[in-house]
Structure 1
Amino acid sequence: MLMLPVLLVTVDNTVLGFALPKIAEALRPSASQQLWMIDAYSLVLAGLLVSMGSLGDRIGHRKLLLTGSLGFVIVSVLTAYSHTAAQLITGRACMGIFGAMLMPSTLALIRSVFEDREERRIAVAIWATTLTVGSALGPLVGGVLLEFFDWGSIFLLAVPVLVPLLILGPLLLPESERDSTGPLDATSILQSMVALSAIVYGIKHSASDGADWMALTAFVVGAVAGWMFVQRQLRLPVPLMDLNLFRNSTFSGSVVINLMSLAFLVGFVFFTTQFLQIVLQMSPLNASLALVPGQIMAIVVGMAIVPVAQRVQTHVLVPILMAFAAAAFLLVAGIGSNLVVLVVAFALLNIGVGAIATVSNDVILSAAPPAKAGAASAISETAYEVGVVLGTTVLGGLVTAYYRGILQLPGFLSEAQAMLASETLSGAHNVTVDLSGDQASELMRQAGSAFEGGIGLVSWVTFVLALIAILIAWRTLRIPNGRVE
């Protein structure tokens, strides 16, 4: 029952990327709007997770979970019938509000239901596997739906997934332990939202439009708000975020590894789904089926890692798992973006990320006392969602920036066609509708080559980042016998 909202929220993080070609054709968004369609959801979600985790600690996580589920269903249905890019972006932002109620509540309720350490380890493994599988399943779900239905169907998926939870949740789910030591601090909520939103916006703007004064302003605002938030948490008797959790290097290291691994996965999905459909001209269904081996690996490894984690020390196990992610991007960078390479690389990436999600979330949840389970869960989920945003904004933005800089447009395009084609790969594909066969082939050859070059650049960058993540895990995750008691 608790896995239903986890599956839906994580599927929503990647399914839209697969639908972008159809959405671009229907709504004709700009390059910036395309990124915002994906980022608005995760941006709002990341900004509210800490607040919602603490709210659930105070009012009960079952109540928060059911409220979020109802709101998510209603907004998803409205978003499915958007007529403009602005409406879709607004809908995605509203979905982020209710999605923030769902994620910390599920992990906190697991802590309440499973008091035994080993039972909880298995439950967290299932939760973490669902987390990774949801992100990996997004392309498959999107491919199947888009093969037979309009793009709006990806949002209507919330109805059959969450309605059973709304009906059975009040009967089957117990309420969590409540922390009634004090009310939520509105100033802290505002500071956390401004800090996260401004920093993520600055990264997104820098990746898509360059490091100009707007990006610099956003970074400064985010840094100041973040500093004010930290100082306030250290003074409050009942803080919104218990910063003492970060004194534990294993907790902090696990949060960072969580963030980086999800950024790698979502960034890979962002550019691969477009490459398969637009450059290789695969149908949505066939493109999604090409990624099935990786999705299977995420499921298998996410559960199989549980007995291994009991025997292998965490600071040894996590670097080994991260090495699979590094190998995935090294493969793409060294060989290129053909179908076989992308399929194998996606499988390698899921072996690493699927297992890392299980191990790191188990460490994070075990480090927190029961009354602070929601706050610890929110920190973990904030790292997850910021990782999702970084995957699309930084990695996706680098691909887009390289595409714009290297693309050589044919001379037969009009000024309007050239502007649209130079913004995104989807834009170039939309221009071909008005061209002859030979002209369309020439444009897509140039656009595909530029986009593939961007994938190569991002793969090298991500390979280096994965090596840095291996070093972080080796230095910070030193837990005797691979466990936290």
Structure 2
Amino acid sequence: MSTTLSHRAQPTYAPSVGARGWIALAVLMLPVLLVSVDNTVLSFALPSISSSMGPTGAQQLWIIDIYPLVLAGLLVSMGSMGDRLGRRRLLLIGATGFGVVSVLAAYAPTPEALIAARALLGFFGAMLMPSTLSLIRNIFLNPNQRRLAIAIWAACFAAGGALGPIVGGFLLEHFWWGSVFLLAPVVLIPLLVLAPIFVPESKDPNPGPVDPTSILLSLIALAPIVYAVKNLAHGGPIGQTVIPAVVGVTASILFVRRQLTRRTPMLDVRLFRVPTFSGAVAVNLLSVFSLVGFLFFVSQHLQLVVGQSPMQAGISLLPGLAVMVVSGLAVVPLVRRVQPRTVVVVALLVSSLGYLTVLAFASPTAIAPVIAAFALLGAGIGAAETISNDLIVSGVAPEKAGAASAVSETAYELGAVLGTAVLGSILMASYRAHLTVPAGVDAGAAAQAGETLGGAHHVAADLPAAEGSALLDSAHAAFDAGVVVTSGIGAVLMVVAAAVAFATLRPRS
């Protein structure tokens, strides 16, 4: 029998958990913190990586993109695998692999090696996040406790984003860039010790057989589409856009058709016929798209345009991340009196004001508008993400929580990939179009300066003072011209997300 988003899927009486359940939640927050810290730290480490390894603009984007790309491609498979094999077991396997590969990433000698390590981190990371959210769904059966637990889950994800720049900034100022990856073993060792003690195992009692064909189709459905988007944003050959897009769309259609015909599908795609479920997934994707796109440019703006150190840049974003945490927790009692749809729509419109603040008030050296913009963005996304995740996981039977959690995480990671690929590529294209390289700079150096803002800083350091200053002035102006374009896109996306939420998250009878 397929799962549906219906109140009948919820028990008439749901027992509350005691202290042991909340201790289990605290243990499950360790991998959540790790994943969010890892994402934020890497964005702030990009200038150091660029200076040390000299990656091209495409390699720089792939260093960021490959992790969520592999992660998103495997989330549905791993969520379903957790339902079958046991969510705690899969969590422990993923934690072990993630810790080992993080050490390899820390000592990667080349951009290619770092990209490969990030791909492996995506493989093991796909075992972590769906497991945490599905375990929460099965530990907290009481709706009020579950909503609070999911709010804490989302708040810890945001808190990790706040902690990442501070800890990462300290490491980047005192050690080499690879030290940021060594945070993983420190966080995961306590998880490996405590999870078997406090976190109960759970899985689907009637999971059905493993379906290798569906796993393969889910993989090849996403990667070609994202590649096509990246190639289109870069202005690459039309064939390298159309062919991968056709492959990805075809694989997606075949995946959906296979799920509809199987008696025990890996993912019950009929859930997407339910407006509340599909709307909540769309809210996740669009809001994270805008959030990650904002972080991509603001971390470089603070360090390379304003001139802050990595730690100072992290501290500048701390108020916004704190607001995100607070809004995610504050929305829990609010939705007992206000319809979730209303809260989500208002929250997303508040987020759009963050991007509009960048457009209206930001200047090359101003920090206050950036702080205010991120606080507005964080306030809205913190509230919206708590409710959307609760709507996704609470609407399915507990034994299917892994697959539902994987859908939520897939939307998040796909939003992260597209946020970097689309907004990042548009930003870099605008940067290259507006950059003016001083006369006398050789072709090789000019090409490097045109790749990234970090490349321009590297080239300027080797030029005479007058030429170097002229190059940096042009590079900063070109970068901020791209920020204006991407901020406008981000504001529009938040309004679109609010419209989607208004149309789909209707109260159910």
Query: Residues 56-455 of structure 1: matches in 2 within 5 Å?
Result: 56-210=82-236, 212-337=238-363, 338-455=366-483
CA shift for structure 1 position 480:
4.9
Give the SS at the match of 2:127: helix
8 A Cα contact 1:42 1:388, kept in partner? yes
Distance 1:268 1:211 in 2: 28
Give the SS at the match of 2:396: coil
Q: One-letter code of the match for 1:473?
A: A
Give the SS at the match of 1:263: helix
CA shift for structure 1 position 169:
1.2
Distance 1:455 1:418 in 2: 22
CA shift for structure 1 position 342:
0.7
8 A Cα contact 1:132 1:353, kept in partner? no
Show CA shifts across 1:340-359 (max 9, x none). 11111011111011111111
Distance 1:120 1:285 in 2: 35
Show CA shifts across 1:119-150 (max 9, x none). 11111111122223334543333222212221
Show CA shifts across 1:289-336 (max 9, x none). 111111111111111110011211122111100011100111111223
TM-score (norm. length: structure 1) = 0.97
Q: One-letter code of the match for 1:425?
A: L
8 A Cα contact 1:13 1:388, kept in partner? no
Show CA shifts across 1:170-227 (max 9, x none). 1111101334331221111111110111111111222234462111111111111111
Distance 2:65 2:489 in 1: 21
Distance 1:227 1:137 in 2: 40
Give the SS at the match of 1:171: helix
Aligned residue for 1:18? Answer: 44
Give the SS at the match of 2:91: helix
Distance 2:115 2:162 in 1: 23
CA shift for structure 1 position 438:
2.0
Distance 2:109 2:148 in 1: 44
CA shift for structure 1 position 13:
2.0
Distance 1:137 1:144 in 2: 11
Distance 1:140 1:453 in 2: 28
Distance 2:416 2:356 in 1: 21
8 A Cα contact 1:108 1:374, kept in partner? yes
The alpha-carbon distance between structure 1 residues 272 and 350, as it changes in their structure 2 partners (threshold 3 A), is same
Q: One-letter code of the match for 1:340?
A: A
8 A Cα contact 2:162 2:322, kept in partner? no
Distance 2:237 2:332 in 1: 43
Q: One-letter code of the match for 2:383?
A: A
The alpha-carbon distance between structure 1 residues 33 and 318, as it changes in their structure 2 partners (threshold 3 A), is same
Q: RMSD between aligned alpha carbons?
A: 1.3
CA shift for structure 1 position 388:
0.7
8 A Cα contact 2:75 2:410, kept in partner? yes
Distance 1:139 1:311 in 2: 36
Distance 1:257 1:133 in 2: 21
Count residues with an aligned counterpart: 481
Show CA shifts across 1:52-85 (max 9, x none). 0000000100000000000000000011001100
Please tell me whether residue 48 in structure 1 is matched to residue 48 in structure 2.
no
Distance 1:129 1:198 in 2: 32
Aligned residue for 2:4? Answer: none
8 A Cα contact 1:202 1:219, kept in partner? yes
Distance 2:227 2:158 in 1: 25
Moved more, 200-209 or 348-357: 200-209
**Structure 1 unaligned regions, length at least 5:** none
Aligned residue for 2:503? Answer: 475
Aligned residue for 1:27? Answer: 53
Give the SS at the match of 1:282: coil
8 A Cα contact 1:421 1:428, kept in partner? yes
The alpha-carbon distance between structure 1 residues 181 and 288, as it changes in their structure 2 partners (threshold 3 A), is closer
Aligned residue for 2:19? Answer: none
8 A Cα contact 1:262 1:391, kept in partner? yes
Q: One-letter code of the match for 1:342?
A: V
Moved more, 38-47 or 123-132: 123-132
The alpha-carbon distance between structure 1 residues 400 and 350, as it changes in their structure 2 partners (threshold 3 A), is same
CA shift for structure 1 position 11:
2.1
Distance 1:151 1:159 in 2: 16
TM-score (norm. length: structure 2) = 0.92
CA shift for structure 1 position 437:
2.1
Distance 1:401 1:179 in 2: 51
8 A Cα contact 2:82 2:203, kept in partner? no
Moved more, 43-52 or 184-193: 184-193
Distance 1:461 1:291 in 2: 21
Aligned residue for 1:39? Answer: 65
8 A Cα contact 1:200 1:389, kept in partner? yes
Distance 2:111 2:71 in 1: 20
Q: One-letter code of the match for 2:501?
A: A
CA shift for structure 1 position 457:
0.5
Moved more, 274-283 or 84-93: 274-283
Distance 2:167 2:296 in 1: 15
